[in-house]
Chain A
Amino acid sequence: MTDLTDLGLKAIRGGVAAGDFTAREVAQAHNDAVAAAAELNAFIVTTPEHALAAADKVDAARAAGEELGPMAGVPIGMKDLFATKGVQSTAASHILEGFVPPYESTVSQKLWDAGAGMLGKLNMDQFAMGSSNETSYFGNVASPWKKQGSNATLTPGGSSGGSSAAVAARLCPAATGTDTGGSIRQPAAITGITGIKPTYGRCSRWGIVAFASSLDQAGPMARSVEDCAIMLGAMAGFDPKDSTSIDAPVPDWAGLLDADLTGKTVGIPREYRMDGMDAEIDASWEQGKAWLKDAGATVVDVSLPHTKYALPAYYIIAPAEASSNLARYDGVRYGLRDLPDGAGLQDMYAATRSAGFGDEVKRRILIGTYVLSAGFYDAYYTQAQKVRTLVQKDFMDAFEQCDVILAPTTPNAAFALGEMTDDPLAMYLNDVFSVPASLAGLPAMSVPATLNKDGLPLGLQIVGRPMDEQGVLNAGLAIEQRAGFTAQPEKWW
């Protein structure tokens, strides 16, 4: 029998429906893979019983001849940013350690309703702040990939680093991620998997621990474009409990996938070609252009003049929103409380937050507090929001000339853990290609393109018009079919 952990989401669903294997067998095989991969530290908690219970439900439904959901029999990993009823949800922070939500996030509930089961809660950068999964209170996640000829432990990217590591290592066929400035696309790119951040508002944010509310979006991470399309279809949809949820029908993205790009125009943003750009990243970008031309598309140069300012604007807006969102962690209502002897209420707040937040989280709260403080608000925050308007206008102007935009996902391949931690700013620059689409609320995905000379994956990014996930997925599929990316990390864990 094929190894069930090698199968993608669609193959598992099909095999369960056809009776080639049971959902329970699939869940068991993945539970075993998760249990054997503790060295990767991809999970904060594992929930084998949840996966088995969901599988048994699917097997029973099949036996009774009932219609199966779009995720029926598929065990997935759930990023620890999602509130899951009865299962600890921490956002990889100490301050939420032991927090057991009495409710289920909208997105996770939709996935369970579609027949998926949960293998566990995936490790991540603390409160989704980070690009290397080194800010988790529960330890670093190790990428399953290694550089050729080196034994150094590499980053799986961040913030959805547990998700990318688990999917790349075949611990789960798919996982949820969230993307605020690139947290789905960057980890997907550097672990050789596929991930899409939909248009802001497609997936409900209800029950997702808030980082920067005007940017946060959930999305799927999997090993093929089609699997991403299926899972995104199960996650998306209007939710009255999220005031920014888009009230629009969810298209049948998977059913409408079409890699023929005849008549489509692909824009190449000239400002993304930066001084000192990695030659292999540049070469993969050129290759991507050739693939999309081969798929029938016309390729044109476009300009996104404010690209350079997107990242600094992001690092004002996101911390500003974070400083406000994270004010709720006060040691009163949930999570950690640190009450020094004889301390009053204010001292308790300060001690709790000092003990409960990691260094990167504190750094961002302080930046956010500063840029929102009296006297500095206009110079920093208002100016950043104006620049955000210009970044979005750049994209809208470009979309007058093209249907989708092609760019690299990241400026480099995976780096070693510890390599960037001394300089927060150097780490921030890892998001240079992903942040602009986040600021503009646009759908964007990363697909694996190739391996570099060190044997590490590189990804290509497609950005589309608002609500045009289909155009993004179609271009992604065209790349996937031509890239023929089948590389897998060699098992060492």
Chain B
Amino acid sequence: MSVTREEVAKIASLARISMDEDALDQMVPELNNILAWVEQLGEVDTSNVEPMAAVIPQDQRLRDDVIDADPLTGGGRREDVLANAPMAEHGFYGVPKVIE
């Protein structure tokens, strides 16, 4: 399978990466080279093979349902959470207006 310029533009839009015309022109053949190369996986007979779910199988652990069991990853750390935000106002993240 290969991708067209329009398809790459669509993928970039899904991935929320803006790309200008030059960037698209460069990306199309690069992606097609890579996709043509991974195509060889189609040669492998995988009928009756389960897709890998976990490389080292483990039971999922549950922790006790305690609020702030780990104070580092619990709540009440607004200042820390907002400390690296490009824009934080009134204790919230600031973003451009979403509704016109």
Contact = CB atoms under 8 A, between A and B. Distances in A.
A20 to B, nearest CB: 38
A327 B14 CA distance: 11
Contact of B42 (A346, A348, A383, A439): A383
A309 interface: yes
B95 A332 contact: yes
B95 A384 contact: no
B56 A331 contact: no
B55 A214 contact: yes
Contacts of A103: 72, 80
B73 to A, nearest CB: 7
Given A350-B16, A369-B11, A244 B31 contact: no
Interface string B1-34: 1010000100111111111000000010011011
Contacts of A343: 96
Nearest to A368: B15
B51 A102 contact: no
Interface stretch (A44-52, A71-79, A310-318, A485-493): A310-318
A262 interface: no
B85 A370 contact: no
A458 B70 CA distance: 45
B56 A102 contact: no
Interface residues of A, number: 76
Contact of B18 (A241, A306, A327, A354): A354
B61 A344 contact: no
Given A390-B44, A424-B33, A441 B96 contact: no
Contacts of B14: 369, 373
Contacts of B35: 367, 370
A392 B33 contact: no
A18 interface: no
Contacts of B72: 103
Interface residues of B, number: 54
A246 interface: yes
Contact of A244 (B40, B44, B52, B56): B56
Interface in A339-397: 339, 343-351, 353-354, 357, 362-363, 365-367, 369-370, 373, 376, 379-380, 382-390, 392
B50 interface: yes
Contacts of B3: 370
Given A240-B61, A336-B86, A366-B27, A312 B41 contact: yes
Chain B at the A interface: SS class: loop
Nearest to A104: B72
B41 A100 contact: no
Pick the most buried of A247, A362, A466: most chain B CB atoms within 10 A of its CB: A362
B12 A366 contact: yes
A464 to B, nearest CB: 13
B83 A102 contact: yes
Interface in B28-78: 30-31, 33-35, 37-38, 40-44, 46, 49-56, 58, 60-61, 63, 70, 72-73, 77
A335 B86 CA distance: 7
A337 interface: yes
Nearest to B42: A383
A201 B42 CA distance: 30
Given A214-B55, A343-B96, A386-B50, A335 B84 contact: yes
B93 A333 contact: yes
Interface of A: 98-103, 199-201, 214-215, 240-241, 243-244, 246-247, 306, 308-309, 312-313, 315-316, 323, 327, 330-337, 339, 343-351, 353-354, 357, 362-363, 365-367, 369-370, 373, 376, 379-380, 382-390, 392, 423-425, 428, 439-441, 466
Given A335-B84, A373-B11, 9 more contacts: A241-B70, A315-B38, A332-B93, A348-B96, A354-B18, A386-B52, A389-B51, A390-B44, A423-B33
